Amino acid sequence: MHGLDEEQQQALADRVGAMLSWEALAAHARAADLVDANQNLLWESRILTDIRPVFTEGNEPKATHGLVLHSLQLTYWNGAQLTELFVTLDRDELQRLAKVIERAQKKEIQAEELMKKADLPRVGTDVGVDDEGA
């Protein structure tokens, strides 16, 4: 194999063999089925930030203040249909969301450690193996 030393060639051969094993393919298929069993699957997310002026009342409106708002856009699959949801967040809500995401990431690390101790390889939810080479 061009550009790979002997150790890299063996590692590649082992990885391809693992990917093509029936057990690994079956595990990935079952994982995909488990994910598909969920009603709404996230496809894409983004946060749009807006500055909105606050005007005085009356016939001669004047911008006297500004307001910063964030719109969390979630695009997800609902069955076979791609759907969008927009949720408006202020600074405090954005910080709470960041903390919730950070907590979920810590929980995932602990779950992965438990799986390693139990000798359970992690399967990805897409075609192929995950970053760990399960």
Domain locations in the chain? 1-37+91-134, 40-89
Q: What is the pTM of this model?
A: 0.62
Describe the crossing of helices 6-20 and 22-36 by its angle, rounded to 10 degrees: 60
Mean pLDDT to the nearest integer, 82-98: 97
Q: How far is CA 87 from CA 12, 41, 48, 74, 92, in A?
A: 45, 17, 10, 8, 14
Q: How confident is the model at residue 114 (pLDDT cuts 50, 70, 90)?
A: very high
pLDDT class for 10, splitting at 50, 70, 90? confident
Q: How confident is the model at residue 2 (pLDDT cuts 50, 70, 90)?
A: low
pLDDT at 68 over 80: yes
Query: For residue 37, is pLDDT > 60?
Result: yes
Secondary structure percentages of the chain, helix, strand, coil, to 5: 45, 30, 25
Q: What pLDDT score was predicted for residue 22? A: 67
Q: What is the spatial distance between Cα 18 and Cα 123, in angstroms, rounded to a whole number?
A: 12
pLDDT at 127: 33
Task: Name every residue whose Cβ is closer than 8 Å to that of residue 83 and which is 6 or more positions away in sequence.
Answer: 40, 75, 76, 77
Residue 64 has pLDDT above 90, yes or no: yes
Q: How many CB atoms lie within 10 A of CB 134?
A: 18
More confident call, 1 vs 132: 1
How many whole angstroms separate alpha carbon 66 and alpha carbon 51? 7
Q: Which residue has the higher pLDDT, 40 or 50?
A: 50
Q: Average pLDDT, whole number, for the chain?
A: 83
What length does the chain have?
134
d(CA 83, CA 21): 36
